[in-house]
Amino acid sequence: MVHKTMTQRTVETLVFDNTYARLPQAFYARLNPTPFSTPPHLVHANPAAAELIELDPEQFARPEFATLFGGGALSPGMEPLAMLYSGHQFGVYVPQLGDGRAILLGEARNEHGERWDLHLKGGGMTPFSRDGDGRAVLRSTIREYLCCAAMQGLSIPTTQALCLVGSDDKVYREQIETGAMVVRMAPSHVRFGSFEIFYYRKQHDHLKTLADYVIQQHFPHLCEGSDKYAGFFSEVVERTAALIAQWQAVGWAHGVMNTDNMSILGLTLDYGPYGFMDDYDAGFICNHSDHNGRYAFNQQPYIGLWNLSCLAQALLPLAEKDALKAGLDTYQPRFEREYLQRMRAKLGFAEEKPEDDELIRDFLGLLQGSHADYTIVFRELSTFSSSSDGAMNDRLREHFLNPDRFDAWVVRYRDRLRIEHSHDGERCDRMNRVNPKYVLRNYLAQTAIEKAQRKDFSEIGRLFTLLQNPFTDQPGMEDYALPPPNWGKHLSVSCSS
């Protein structure tokens, strides 16, 4: 729940604690961030995220703000650490991962007693950096920062991004780029892989300590239950299923759904080579390095289940196998219910009918066959005229390569709308509240990145503001709702960030 607050803190009066640092030392490595060698500068900051920790947005302009969130200072109560975890990467178990370039600075507390992890990504090497340099580049931090805002605008559970701090430090990737840091916020950054590591190391006492901690902090209503670990698992199943259904409905692919990138709270976590689809393609692969399409768009629901089965296995020392299995079995129906509900709303149905599933599937088939733009067609569908005068729907019809097939679908759609006495005007309003007009298309992010690399941050601000209200027509922003120009189609995004 988000509380409105009157408290306005400064950089100096933020209140920090770090309950994770109170867990056994085996859970993390304590260390301070490594600041850039050149002065940090604020690229952008998020007033809504600041409000969650009662930070006055006027603070953004102070050099102390960029210093603190560029890893150049610490506040009292912060106990910075890199979290340890492992995980299944592309289906293969990697025995040790951990925050290789992120540092949990501490938990900011607000006067309602809420705690927000402040996690500094790009804050320098840690004992878990392996071959990495501990840095993040401006390009990838902009992508993370903007997509957090986009997800927030779409009401899809996500980590939040508080601010983006840039530098002139050189960072070596495929090309020379500049280093940047993004501060993300979440009630917890614990991942499925945080549990897996203690299971595979046979450190069941640590496994229990972690589960007890997570339940006490984030699922307190389960504390008194007889089978709290199985209950906890069931809630993770529930949240994960709901989250992935929301990704599917909005046409978004994560790109690297390794178990170390799966949030125990069901948040979208670790933005890398993600993508919003332009043309609808069920097999859309947004991650250039994903050669076999393991994390293709239409695989995400199965991968969610696969990842949850890894978590279930890690919890075997704590809960009955049958109870975990029962939790896992709720995934598919939960996912389908959530997905169907969201897709029904996207088609403008107020009621549930047995034929909806097929109507939805056939519509997606039409989009696929026509390479039609997912976001644009759903948005335009709200203008559909249910009267029999077909001419009203000509514009919509133009998106489809085979108009006869579209017409045949329209007959069924119109009949379906009539069954529930759907009113065109009312339905249009409803549909415009669930079919976004603006999404963070890859080419839009790319434009902001290229400008920022020339030290012009204006496009980041423009997109940030736009994406906070993706369902509302915004004057002067019509171009941002258009399909990508030719150069911006099928941009290649890889893990290298």
Catalytic positions are 260
Residue 408 or 495 with smaller CB distance to ligand AMP: 495
Q: Which does 256 bind (CB under 5 to 8 A by kind): ligand AMP, Mg ion, none?
A: ligand AMP
Residue 153 or 193 with smaller CB distance to ligand AMP: 193
Q: How far is the CB of 347 from Mg ion (least distance, A)?
A: 35
Residue 126 or 386 with smaller CB distance to ligand AMP: 126
Q: How far is the CB of 260 from Mg ion (least distance, A)?
A: 5
CA atoms within 13 A on the CB side of 359: 22
Task: Summarize as ranges the residues that interact with ligand AMP (CB under 6 A).
Answer: 97-102, 128-129, 132-135, 256, 261, 270, 272, 495
Q: Determine the angle formed by the axes of helices 331-347 and 424-432, rounding to 10 degrees.
A: 130
Q: Are 166 and 138 in contact (CB under 8 A)?
A: yes
Q: How far is the CB of 223 from Mg ion (least distance, A)?
A: 29
Question: Beta strands 136-137 and 115-121: pairing type?
Answer: unpaired
d(CA 60, CA 63): 8
Residue 270 or 290 with smaller CB distance to Mg ion: 270
Please name which of 1, 147, 120 lies closest in space to residue 66, comparing C-alpha atoms. 120
Residue 57: what residue type? P
Task: Summarize as ranges the residues that interact with Mg ion (CB under 5 A).
Answer: 261, 270
Q: Please report where in the chains the tokens 């933005």 appear, as a residue.
A: 271
Cα dist from 331 to 214, 238, 241, 372, whole Å: 21, 7, 6, 30
Residue whose CB is nearest to Mg ion in the complex, by number: 270
d(CA 52, CA 56): 10
Residue 261 or 393 with smaller CB distance to Mg ion: 261
Residue whose CB is nearest to ligand AMP in the complex, by number: 132
Residue 261 or 497 with smaller CB distance to Mg ion: 261
Diameter over CA atoms, the chain: 70
CA atoms within 13 A on the CB side of 431: 23
Q: Which does 135 bind (CB under 5 to 8 A by kind): Mg ion, ligand AMP, none?
A: ligand AMP
Residue 270 or 290 with smaller CB distance to ligand AMP: 270
Q: Which does 99 bind (CB under 5 to 8 A by kind): ligand AMP, Mg ion, none?
A: ligand AMP
d(CA 211, CA 431): 41
Q: Determine the angle formed by the axes of helices 331-347 and 356-370, rounding to 10 degrees.
A: 70
Q: Which does 97 bind (CB under 5 to 8 A by kind): Mg ion, ligand AMP, none?
A: ligand AMP
Please name which of 147, 139, 144, 146 lies closest in space to residue 173, comparing C-alpha atoms. 139
d(CA 42, CA 60): 8
Q: How far is the CB of 141 from ligand AMP (least distance, A)?
A: 12
Q: How far is the CB of 154 from Mg ion (least distance, A)?
A: 22
Q: Which does 446 bind (CB under 5 to 8 A by kind): ligand AMP, Mg ion, none?
A: none
Please name which of 298, 301, 297 lies closest in space to residue 287, comparing C-alpha atoms. 297
Q: How far is the CB of 111 from ligand AMP (least distance, A)?
A: 33
Q: How far is the CB of 15 from Mg ion (least distance, A)?
A: 28
**Tokens, residue 119:** 């996690």
Cα dist from 230 to 201, 234, 323, whole Å: 21, 6, 6
- The contacts of residue 163 (CB under 8 Å, 6+ apart) are 42, 43, 44, 45, 46, 49, 60, 65, 69, 182, 183
Q: Which does 187 bind (CB under 5 to 8 A by kind): Mg ion, ligand AMP, none?
A: none
Q: Which does 290 bind (CB under 5 to 8 A by kind): ligand AMP, Mg ion, none?
A: none
